[in-house]
């Protein structure tokens, strides 16, 4: 049986663990918080229940999927590990520490992947002694539903690692797209400035959040408006991503909107905190 470790049990981490376990992988889900791990398993169970109701999986397959997930508050024995996927908070220091620990604990042949949405893979790989085996695997939220996996090749990532990760993404039922390392890659370099500009429209009184989102949905055929999407992603994650783009690309067009900073400072992080541009407390 193939073996994966997913480090970070937040929204994306639990989704990544879900799709690996559902595809038959022995899955270790690791987080420093036992509460986060318990919440993650509960979320995976609820998402599987929805799949059962829709006829996507059977009740037996749901039980098998949950049975493949083992949780831990520290890195478990990583023998026979084929790949580790880090999905921790979008903070370079946190990610660097995790990669140093994974590099020391994982078998020499294991691939180390990051689900970062903006931090350069080359910088992450430099924390390890296996840069050719370090790669980006950027899943989209919600992971069980979204088709794309952005596969990011760092400066030192080998062709063999890229080939293996593309194959893994396909086994998970995803569509991998290979891109080169650059802050924000393609997805967030294009998406986040649009979301940021939508926030400027609200801050400057051009339109209400609902009006901005309706224009983008009905006029541009977006399935969800940029501000509702920001709430789903998490405004703290949006801010962290914009800060990386602004710092690493050095262009003021990536300056985070002051309203975004204010909302994050106030704890209005979007759906996960109950309030963002919209109210989810009802």
Q: What is the pLDDT of residues 49-99, one digit of tens each?
A: 999 999 999 999 999 999 999 999 999 889 899 999 999 988 899 999 999
Q: Which of 248, 257, 128, 276 is nearest to 204 (CA)?
A: 257
Reply yes or no on whether the pLDDT at 1 is more than 70. Answer: no
Would you state the pLDDT for residue 77?
87
Partner residues linked to 148 by β-bridges: 175
Query: Which helix (H) or strand (E) element contains residue 17?
Result: helix 11-22
18 annotated active-site: no
Q: Which of 14, 117, 187, 273 is catalytic?
A: 117
Nearest to 260 by CA among 188, 200, 187: 200
Reference 85, options 73, 77, 95; nearest CA is 95
Report whether 107 contacts 81 (CB < 8 A): yes
Q: Which of 138, 187, 196, 273 is catalytic?
A: 138
DSSP E strand stretches across 1-121: 3-7, 26-30, 69-72, 83-86, 111-114
- The residue count of the chain comes to 282
Mean pLDDT in residue range 235-258 = 95
Q: 138 catalytic, yes or no? A: yes
The pLDDT of residue 117: 86
* C-alpha distance from residue 227 to each of 67, 109, 198, 259, 265 (Å): 37, 42, 7, 12, 17
pLDDT reading at 203 higher than 80? yes
Cα–Cα distance for residue pair 155/162, rounded to 1 Å: 12
Beta pairing class for 148-153 and 134-139: antiparallel
CA dihedral 190, 207, 235, 260 (to 10 degrees): 100
Q: Which residues in 75-113 are b (16+ Cβ under 10 Å) and which e?
A: beebeebbbbbbbbebebeebbebbebbbebbeeebbbb
Q: Is 188 a catalytic residue?
A: yes
User: Pick the catalytic residue: 114, 123, 188, 196?
Assistant: 188
Q: How many CA atoms lie within 13 A of 243 on its CB side?
A: 12
Q: In which band, very low, low, confident or very high, does the pLDDT at 251 lie, cut at 50, 70 and 90?
A: very high
Active site residue: 150, 187, 196, 273, which one? 150
48, 66 Cβ separation under 8 angstroms: yes
Could you give the CA distance from residue 135 to residue 152 in angstroms, rounded to a whole number?
A: 6
């Amino acid at each position: 049986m193939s073996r994966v470790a997913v480090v970070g049990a937040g929204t994306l981490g639990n989704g990544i663990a879900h799709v690996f376990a559902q595809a038959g992988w022995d899955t270790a889900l690791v987080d420093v918080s036992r509460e986060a791990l318990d919440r993650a398993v509960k979320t995976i169970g609820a998402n599987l229940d929805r799949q059962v109701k829709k006829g996507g999986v059977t009740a037996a397959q749901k039980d098998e999927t949950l049975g493949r997930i083992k949780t831990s508050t520290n890195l478990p024995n990583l023998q026979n590990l084929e790949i580790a996927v880090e999905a921790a908070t979008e903070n370079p220091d946190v990610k660097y520490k995790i990669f140093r620990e994974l590099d020391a604990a994982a078998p020499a042949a294991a691939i180390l992947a990051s689900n970062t949405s903006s931090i350069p893979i080359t910088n992450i790989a430099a924390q390890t002694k296996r840069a050719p085996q370090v790669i980006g695997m950027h899943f989209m939220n919600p992971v069980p539903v979204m088709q794309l996996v952005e596969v990011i090749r760092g400066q030192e990532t080998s062709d063999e690692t890229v080939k293996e990760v593309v194959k893994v993404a396909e086994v998970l039922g995803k569509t991998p797209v290979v891109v080169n390392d650059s802050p924000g890659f393609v997805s967030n370099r294009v998406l986040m400035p649009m979301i940021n500009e939508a926030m400027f429209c609200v801050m400057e009184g051009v339109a209400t959040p609902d009006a901005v989102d309706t224009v983008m949905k009905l006029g541009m055929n977006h399935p969800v408006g940029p501000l509702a999407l920001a709430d789903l992603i998490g405004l703290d994650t949006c801010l962290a991503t914009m800060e990386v783009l602004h710092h690493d690309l050095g262009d003021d067009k990536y300056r985070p909107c002051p309203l975004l900073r204010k909302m994050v400072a106030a704890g209005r992080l979007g759906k996960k905190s109950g309030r963002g541009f919209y109210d989810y407390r009802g």
